[in-house]
Structure 1
């Protein structure tokens, strides 16, 4: 439990918020009926926080700070990263909320009193970003959190928990304030996202997992499930045709005229930022005029124009630049594993074990496949949220994409073994998913520190045997633990054992395991490959 909010806590908060939004992304997308029922609020918030988290990581790595980066640089980087990566109406508002928070924390430090003031400033900044603030939205939830946090609470955790509880309560009542939510039977999507972010803040300062998101989902389950069908549709008559969003380099004094010009062109106007850098979001019928307004104010760039009603036209434009074939993309680390996947007919995205690919990297790798249909093999459960966000973006571009949540490269190799591009897409996906699911996976690793596991307490340097992600064996001898792990895997049966050898696996150990299997299980075929991965000494797959 922290007494003071610091740079390391900001980094932890961003990571936890990203995980929380990744878990709730589809739920939040389903809630999205205001201001436009286009079903992307959860994805937009995820991408916004992903950009914030990457910016904070850069602060920690650029100057060798380790875990000691100061609060000011860390929280300022989070706000700027969110601003640059903000997507959609809610994303820009959340970025401006973070900016308000950063202004206070960077100046006054991370005391409980500073956090109270920061939450008030954050809510104020969010309201200022919106041309026509509407209650029953993220703004209302932010204001409720700030008011409650401003009351006297002792300690950083108490302040964060008070803000979180107030946000939850305010979210439940958003349908009472906004008719479109009441008609659809849902709470506000942006507000639900802010609740997830505040829940992550409680996690970051307390080290505990608040039960709020689960409890909240139970409270509103009847409401949002009753109305979420059909929300992923373009707006009907009366709504502007385009969403325009861009970054803008412009002096502060140019903003009033820009706001007035854009407000006259459309609605859902949100402008966040400061110090010469702005993120502009507006819904208009004349997209060109919205961009021209930015040119008059300064230098617009990273311009994104979305035609709400013409997803099919976008798909047709995409069709001119891609083939009609099918591709498989595997995310793996290690040159040996990459070669194995390539030999099996898969494109490969090399993964850094210390920096998993973000959604934008995954999306770009899929585009490079130049195929209409793409099957994505993640081979790591930590990539599911980023892959889900990337897939949603790609589907908007007209691609047909299936994300197979393979948890280990051995499951990915099993899926590749049955891949058949001559089958229909759905049949191929089902066959590959079945093959991956029928492959049990294990790994051999070395503990980096003391930790509680399902098999007991491990110390730094202990050899760990994991099956399906859970520690089942702890030893001090690498070879003995490897044999124990393999025997545990085969106790449940199997016909084929695949061993993927890590970069640091001692010479001769693989031969010992192959000989052991042939001696004790002669009916089982065993194959070994040089994987070259750094993340695990040994990967084991049993089919």
Structure 2
């Protein structure tokens, strides 16, 4: 459901994608990342909730696209951790999963900012936690429904607030595209849990989101530089060193472990994302410490030609 919903909304999400760069691809990136998660589950044998979520998270992480897609993939993988061995989802588990997700997502980004998908995820976690606290650990289906409804409601309020939290959004009079994308995904989860359709009025009144609103991303100044993404196996110490080096040459640095399983050398697979002036400078630093795979290089421009991909 989330895959189709994001496909339906990708054009509008792209149109308001102006932060951290106006490259008009948030909707596309979230769609492709969620599609990767869905494909990762296609041939999975039935298992507990955590194992299923972890498989989706790994698949999403390995093919994550863009800032929002990478942060969503990080969140999805983190949500699995409290759910292992659970045969069914309940309110306390959902609250714990969302809490874990927002902690991991905030820590994955070198310079996290309010007014983004991070703020919306944090609000969703708070909304879920408020129900869990009030219901004192009740594991009934009714409490699960209240928990996801509270999470979606809090996320919706947080999306509205994004416009006032970042100057670039305030000046353009739009809400954050990644935040709206996460809100749509959460409402898909709500729809499945409570057995009701998606909320038709969920996005009503969000600045810049009416169909007739202009494509604000295309009116922004051209962006210079490229977005580099890859997967690479590193020890935690080597990963910290690479993050520090990438922080010095670019921005929007996101690094998070794809799984908690280390190889015999103590290295973990990491998903890496960075915006840099040119690809060679980032790739040189990356290749100096490891052998990257699933390498993707994209121009940071809303009018750029089709992405170029280098697979190693």
Same fold, judged at TM 0.5 (above): yes
Deviation (angstroms), 1:289? 2.0
Residues 271-299 of structure 1, C-alpha deviation per residue, up to 9 Å, x if partnerless? 13243111111111132121122223322
Deviation (angstroms), 1:69? 3.0
User: CA separation in 2, counterparts of 1:36 and 1:222?
Assistant: 17
Considering only CA atoms, is the larger Rg found in Structure 1 or Structure 2?
1
Of the two structures, which has the highest relative contact order with CA contacts closer than 8 Å and spacing of 6 or more?
A: 2
User: CA separation in 2, counterparts of 1:277 and 1:149?
Assistant: 31
2:47 aligned to which of 42, 57, 69: 69
1:159 aligned to which of 124, 144, 147: 147
Query: Which residue does 1:279 correspond to in 2?
Result: 271
Query: Which residue does 1:126 correspond to in 2?
Result: 105
SS at match of 1:59: coil
SS at match of 1:208: coil
Deviation (angstroms), 1:54? 0.7
* 5+ long unaligned stretches in structure 2: 136-142, 261-267
SS at match of 2:19: coil
Query: Which residue does 2:235 correspond to in 1?
Result: 251
SS at match of 1:299: coil
Deviation (angstroms), 1:173? 1.1
Asked whether the 8 Å contact 2:6–2:30 carries over to 1, the reply is yes
User: CA separation in 2, counterparts of 1:235 and 1:129?
Assistant: 28
TM-score (ref. length: structure 2): 0.86
User: CA separation in 1, counterparts of 2:214 and 2:33?
Assistant: 23
Residues 330-367 of structure 1, C-alpha deviation per residue, up to 9 Å, x if partnerless? xxxxxxxxxxxxxxxxxxxxxxxxxxxxxxxxxxxxxx
Query: Which residue does 2:206 correspond to in 1?
Result: 220
User: Structure 1 residues 296 and 235, CA, compared in 2 at 3 Å: closer, same or farther?
Assistant: farther
User: Structure 1 residues 114 and 30, CA, compared in 2 at 3 Å: closer, same or farther?
Assistant: same
Task: Report which of the two has the higher share of strand.
Answer: 1
Asked whether the 8 Å contact 2:48–2:84 carries over to 1, the reply is no
SS at match of 2:71: helix
Matched, 1:34 2:26: no
SS at match of 1:80: helix
User: CA separation in 1, counterparts of 2:76 and 2:97?
Assistant: 9
User: CA separation in 1, counterparts of 2:207 and 2:249?
Assistant: 38
Matched, 1:104 2:82: yes
Matched, 1:139 2:118: yes
Query: Which residue does 1:468 correspond to in 2?
Result: none
Matched, 1:181 2:169: yes
Query: Which residue does 2:190 correspond to in 1?
Result: 202
How many residue pairs get aligned? The number is 290
Query: 226-235 vs 146-155, which deviates more?
Result: 226-235
TM-score (ref. length: structure 1): 0.51
User: CA separation in 2, counterparts of 1:111 and 1:183?
Assistant: 41
User: Structure 1 residues 126 and 228, CA, compared in 2 at 3 Å: closer, same or farther?
Assistant: farther
Matched, 1:303 2:295: yes
Deviation (angstroms), 1:307? 2.9
User: CA separation in 2, counterparts of 1:294 and 1:199?
Assistant: 37
Mapping for residues 338-377 of structure 1, pairs under 5 Å: none
User: Structure 1 residues 235 and 94, CA, compared in 2 at 3 Å: closer, same or farther?
Assistant: farther
* 5+ long unaligned stretches in structure 1: 1-15, 61-67, 315-394, 398-543
User: Structure 1 residues 143 and 113, CA, compared in 2 at 3 Å: closer, same or farther?
Assistant: same
SS at match of 1:220: coil
SS at match of 1:243: strand
